[in-house]
A = this chain, B = another copy of it.
Amino acid sequence: LTDNKNKFSVKEFIHQSMAIIIEDAVKKATDVREKVCEWRSPDQLKELLDLELRDGGESDSKILQRCRDAIRYSVKTTHPRFFNQLYAGMEPYSMVASFIAEALKPSLYTYEIAPVFTLIEDAVLRKMMELIGWEEGGDGIFNAGGSMSNMYAMNLARYNHSPDIKEFGLSAAPRLVMFTSQECHYSVSKAAALLGIGTKNVYVVPSDKRGKMILSALENKIKAAKSEGAFPFMVNATAGTTVLGAFDPIEEIADICEKHNLWLHVDACWGGAALMSKKHKHLLKGIHRANSVAWNPHKMLMACLQCCAFLVRDKTQDKFYDISYDTGDKSLQCSRKADAFKFWLMWKALGSIARHYAYFMPEFSNVCFWYIPPSLKNLPDGPELYEKLHTVAPVIKERMMKTGSMMVGYQPHGDKPNFFRMIVISPQVSKQDMDFVLDEIHRLGKDL
């Protein structure tokens, strides 16, 4: 790198870029007085950033400016007024852990190549299994996302039902059917497409008004599938749905699974965090009876993105599962990152972090609400109000993005018009920030 007169020494470049990262990407990004985003349209941003890759290299001072610009125009997901996603906040221990992993580049194939991180992954998985309540332990793997975890679950459930499919494929097999609620994550449907199960063989069970799977409807769907000559093999229960934050009744679903001999997977990517709280863990009552669980500490537990565990109760050996520390054979990935380390270091520093939960309302931390502008205040409940209300949130969101003061998502749901879904995770969020959100929405939308 030093053969070019426009290049600093490696040491100097790293030193200067670290100063920028700490100042701009950590300190400023989490400063409530700064913007959450500095909105530019794709065309404006393309021009500002000069994205094209050319044959020649650039000076190091130019590269440092590029770092500053990339940070400046990025959304600050760690900002206290970022409520847009199922993750938020800056957790310094896990951030440091992730920097260490990025610098060392471990890949969790084998103990030989990643001794520290394979042992740490094992320790974290064991702790998570303890919290789930699997007294005999189990197995698991950190992977590249909750969607992947749900996919692992469907693959194992299928293997459990018909092990021959692994070798001979599904074309020789009867029609397999699985069950999930209408509120489940869209990864279930994606995985059904990918695994050759077929999206139409995911039977969607209706949920009640709060978003919980209706048990009698599940029973009916299972019976219907059997009467069609199909083979039910699995139920996916959701602990913390994406939109409403609802928890399916796991205990009762486990009874049904037992009765019909079905694999029970709990997608607790979002809601698993409640297992760390004495007060809230009842939301997942019965989870110890699940055959597999997906749980992402990068969501409510604030570990650095990504930190996603897939856990399985049974230790049955298949080619994907090996009890030694050489995890290569149980992963769908080949290279695999040391994501567990981010959760481990954070836990070591903070201890069991149940105290973080402040905002569970009414059940979990998805706060869903309409903003009703003054002009609609006197409209009676009914189609006219709903139709007009449907257009309010998108306009406010557009103005919010252009102002850059905060980020809150919105969506429609069933026959309900667009509403805001505010996700409150970070302990760095103050009462003032909560007030700010309501005031700002009013300021941005009162003329609508």
Residues in A lying within 8 Å of B, measured CB to CB: 1, 10-11, 13-15, 17-18, 21-22, 25-27, 29, 37, 39-40, 42, 45-46, 49, 51-58, 60, 62-63, 66-67, 69-71, 73-78, 84-85, 87, 90, 92-93, 95-100, 102-107, 111-117, 119-120, 122-124, 127, 143-148, 151, 155, 158, 165-176, 185-187, 190-201, 298, 304-306, 308, 319-320, 325, 332-337, 341, 344-345, 347-352, 401
Bound complex: CA A260 to CA B379 (Å): 65
Query: Majority SS of interface residues in chain A?
Result: helix
Residues of B close to A115: CB separation below 8 A: 37, 39-40, 42, 45, 73-75
Interchain residue pairs with CB less than 8 A apart (16): A13-B93, A14-B26, A18-B22, A40-B115, A42-B115, A42-B325, A67-B96, A69-B116, A75-B104, A75-B114, A76-B104, A145-B333, A170-B170, A187-B332, A195-B196, A305-B335
Residues of B close to A196: CB separation below 8 A: 158, 165, 169-170, 195-197
Residues of B close to A60: CB separation below 8 A: 349
Q: Is the CB of B92 within 8 A of A332?
A: no
Q: Is the CB of A123 within 8 A of B165?
A: no
The 8 closest A-B pairs by CB, nearest first: A169-B198, A196-B196, A144-B144, A170-B170, A57-B351, A170-B196, A51-B123, A25-B103
Residues of B close to A54: CB separation below 8 A: 351-352
Residues of B close to A70: CB separation below 8 A: 100, 116-117, 120, 341, 345
Bound complex: CA A76 to CA B351 (Å): 29
Residues of B close to A127: CB separation below 8 A: 52-53
Residues of B close to A1: CB separation below 8 A: 92
Residues of B close to A175: CB separation below 8 A: 169, 171-172
Residues of B close to A201: CB separation below 8 A: 168-169
Supplied contacts A63-B348, A98-B102, A151-B332, 17 more A-B pairs, CB within 8 Å: A18-B18, A45-B119, A49-B119, A51-B344, A58-B348, A74-B115, A75-B104, A85-B113, A87-B335, A146-B334, A147-B332, A147-B333, A165-B196, A166-B193, A169-B175, A170-B198, A298-B335
Residues of B close to A95: CB separation below 8 A: 14, 102-103
Residues of B close to A185: CB separation below 8 A: 334
Q: Which residue of B lies closest to A127 (CB)?
A: B53
Q: Which residue of B lies closest to A26 (CB)?
A: B103
Residues of B close to A87: CB separation below 8 A: 105, 107, 335
Q: Is the CB of B167 within 8 A of A200?
A: yes
Contact partner of A10 (CB less than 8 A), chosen from B92, B166, B169, is B92
Bound complex: CA A10 to CA B29 (Å): 14
Distance between A227 CB and nearest chain B CB, rounded to angstroms: 17
Q: Is the CB of B119 within 8 A of A42?
A: yes
Bound complex: CA A319 to CA B190 (Å): 9
Residues of B close to A308: CB separation below 8 A: 335
Q: Is the CB of A124 within 8 A of B53?
A: yes
Q: Is the CB of A200 within 8 A of B145?
A: no
Bound complex: CA A111 to CA B46 (Å): 12
Bound complex: CA A350 to CA B7 (Å): 10
Residues of B close to A76: CB separation below 8 A: 104
Residues of B close to A71: CB separation below 8 A: 100, 104
Given the known inter-chain contacts A119-B46, A171-B174, please indicate yes or no for A75 contacting B306, CB distance below 8 A.
no
Bound complex: CA A97 to CA B69 (Å): 12
Bound complex: CA A363 to CA B211 (Å): 59
Distance between A187 CB and nearest chain B CB, rounded to angstroms: 6
Q: Which of A171, A173, A401 has the most CB of B within 10 A?
A: A171
Residues of B close to A77: CB separation below 8 A: 104-107, 113
